[in-house]
Amino acid sequence: MTLRQGVGSGMVACALLVAAVSASGQTGAETFTATAAVKTAGAAAASAPVTIVITSKMSREQVEKLTGAFTAGGAAALRKALTGVPPTGSITLGKGAPTAARLTFERPTDTGRLLTIVTDKPIIALGAGMAGAKPTAGYDFAVLDLIIDAQGHGTGTLAPAAKIGVKQGVFIVEDYASETVRLTDVKKTK
């Protein structure tokens, strides 16, 4: 399960039990496009296109190994466990450079599937340039969740700079931004 917590905001849950991850992993490439949108409490809004490329998905065993490494030794142990593991795809926000996806896993839902994609570096720290912004140290990952229906359409969320943790076999995501980045118009293009 991934659990997303915005700093200074309530909890938003996206269920993804590690035990429910596909047992075999998948190697078929897929590409999705979406629009990332965020709106602040002060009514400021921004949006950008997002391209998500998935070149492979991890098996349950692979995910459990990486979660176990994180549980045993935190982010440093996860990074060490990822040594030699090929990227599973990429996330491109706007005209930025693609950020390599390091973990990609899925589970079936009643209407399709839930994909969770984790990068081992942040894509962008929203609000970091604002006066009084908190330090970005420790927000070393990005986490993207897509809920895709059988036709390849869906919605999602993106934590472009996040701290991650594991608690009772569940990924915990603390987003740097206080507002959730929503992914709309998600479409499978390949």
Q: What are 41-84's pLDDT values in tens digits?
A: 677 788 999 999 999 999 989 998 999 999 999 999 999 999 99
The two structure tokens encoding residue 44: 């400021």
190 Cβ contact list (under 8 Å, min separation 6): 29, 30, 31
The string of pLDDT tens digits covering residues 176-186 is 888 889 999 99
pLDDT of residue 131: 63
If one compares 4 and 100, the residue with the highest pLDDT of the two is 100
pLDDT at 27 over 90: no
The string of pLDDT tens digits covering residues 104-127 is 999 899 999 999 999 999 999 887
Which residue has 């959730």 as its token pair? 180
The string of pLDDT tens digits covering residues 120-175 is 999 998 877 776 677 788 899 999 999 999 999 999 999 999 999 888 766 789 98
If one compares 128 and 85, the residue with the highest pLDDT of the two is 85
Interatomic CA distance for residues 100 and 121, integer angstroms: 8
pLDDT at 19 over 70: no
Distinct helix (H) and strand (E) counts, the chain: 1, 11
Interatomic CA distance for residues 129 and 77, integer angstroms: 30
pLDDT at 20 over 50: no
* Mean pLDDT for the stretch of residues 78-101: 95
Could you tell me if 109 and 147 are in contact, meaning their C-beta atoms sit under 8 angstroms apart? yes
Interatomic CA distance for residues 186 and 153, integer angstroms: 5
The pTM (predicted TM-score) of the whole model is 0.83
Task: Please give, one letter per residue, the 3-state secondary structure of 3-51.
Answer: EEEECCCCEEEECCCHHHCCCCCECCCEEEEEEEEEECCCCCEEEEEEE
The two structure tokens encoding residue 142: 């990005």
pLDDT of residue 170: 66
pLDDT of residue 151: 95
The two structure tokens encoding residue 157: 């969320």
Interatomic CA distance for residues 44 and 128, integer angstroms: 15
pLDDT of residue 166: 83
DSSP H helices, the chain, are 60-82
